[in-house]
Amino acid sequence: MLSTNDIRAKFLNFFKSKNHSIVASDSLVPKDDPTVLFTTAGMQQFKPQFLGRDLTYTRASTCQKCLRTDDLDVVGKTDFHHTFFEMLGNFSFGDYFKKEAIAWAWEFLTGELKLPKDRLWVSVYKDDEEAYGIWLNDIKQPKERIVKLGDKSNFWPSNARLNGPNGPCGPCSEIFYDYGVNPNCPNGAQCDPDCSCGRFSEVWNLVFTQFNRKDGGVLEPLPAKNIDTGMGLERLVAVVQGKKSNYETDNFTAILSVIKETVKSNSGTMT
Ligand code: GLY
């Protein structure tokens, strides 16, 4: 069975073989970015590259330590949400764009990790015919497993077009793993990746960063088109290890068994 460490290494090696510079994770409190308190995504340390201010390299890949509080209300209630997590990512700064980003994501999941193709669904931004066409015609993804979603789900940052924040943003395409019909889902077999019943785990978000949002919701085209992808390592590991919950993977079982033992051995001394 592939471990969390194996999967992280496989991802970075795969993108190294596609001529990406492998860059270390940035600090959880970003060094030079007064717009955010914590690092919430792999792209954050690359803002100068996305804005065309630093082109030391045009392709990079990372495993970034992240802290997110925007979905704090569901942490502990679902199998897939965390506050702290690791995010795998590959980035293009004015180099490759949608065609390569989609093809390499598919090659990594189905070729390197050998995930069954019929378990993978994708979503695209409702107006992004280019991404839709690549999935349908190049990848040969059946149209029954491609869904078109709106600004909340398929624009990154979520709803940025309407609500901000300012900075690099764009439409995105997500890849989901289908755990099979949830008998308790009110939508039954008609359920799709927009449903929150737990049938679908969103594993990878491919963001086509082509705008710089400014005050008033102005979307200024960036000097060059970019790619920013984010894949939650813990979710991917759950899928690869055949677990429904991130907390049942090798990354957590050792920690949880120490906690269980500690609680058991201290329970007699608690008042
Ligand atoms: N930067 C892409 C993501 O966080 O999903």
Whether 43 lines ligand 1, by a CB cut-off of 6 Å, is: yes
Return the ligand 1 atom nearest residue 42 CA: 1
State which ligand 1 atom lies nearest to the alpha carbon of 229. 2
Calculate how far, in angstroms, residue 180's C-alpha sits from the geometric centre of ligand 1.
25
* Span from the CA of 54 to the centroid of ligand 1 (angstroms): 21
Decide: 205 in ligand 1 pocket, CB within 6 A: yes
Q: What is the pLDDT of residue 222?
A: 86
pLDDT digits (tens, 9 = 90+) for 229-270: 999 999 999 999 999 999 999 999 989 999 999 998 887 655
Q: How far does residue 187's CA lie from ligand 1's centre (Å)?
A: 28
221 Cα: distance to centroid of ligand 1 (angstroms): 19
Ligand 1 centroid, distance to 260 Cα (angstroms): 33
Instruction: Tell me how crowded residue 90 is: count the other CB atoms within 10 A of its CB.
Output: 27
For the Cβ of 222 lying below 6 angstroms from any atom of ligand 1, the answer is no
Check residue 270 and give its pLDDT. Answer: 53
Cα of 204 to ligand 1 centre, how many Å?
Answer: 8
Give the distance (Å) from ligand 1 centre to CA of residue 41: 6
Bridge partners (DSSP) of residue 125 are: 149
Q: Tokens in use for 244?
A: 């429904």
Q: pTM value?
A: 0.92
C-beta 50 within 6 A of ligand 1: no
207 close to ligand 1 (CB < 6 Angstrom) = yes
pLDDT score for 128 = 93
pLDDT tens per residue across all 271 residues of the chain:
999 999 999 999 999 999 999 999 999 999 888 888 999 999 999 989 988 888 899 999 999 999 999 889 999 899 889 999 999 999 999 999 999 999 999 999 999 999 999 999 999 999 999 999 999 999 999 999 999 999 999 999 889 988 998 888 999 999 999 999 999 999 998 999 999 899 999 999 999 998 889 999 899 998 789 999 999 999 999 999 999 999 999 999 989 999 999 998 887 655 4
Residue with the nearest Cα to atom 2 of ligand 1? 230
- The predicted pLDDT at position 239 comes to 98
Closest residue to atom 3 of ligand 1, CA basis: 230
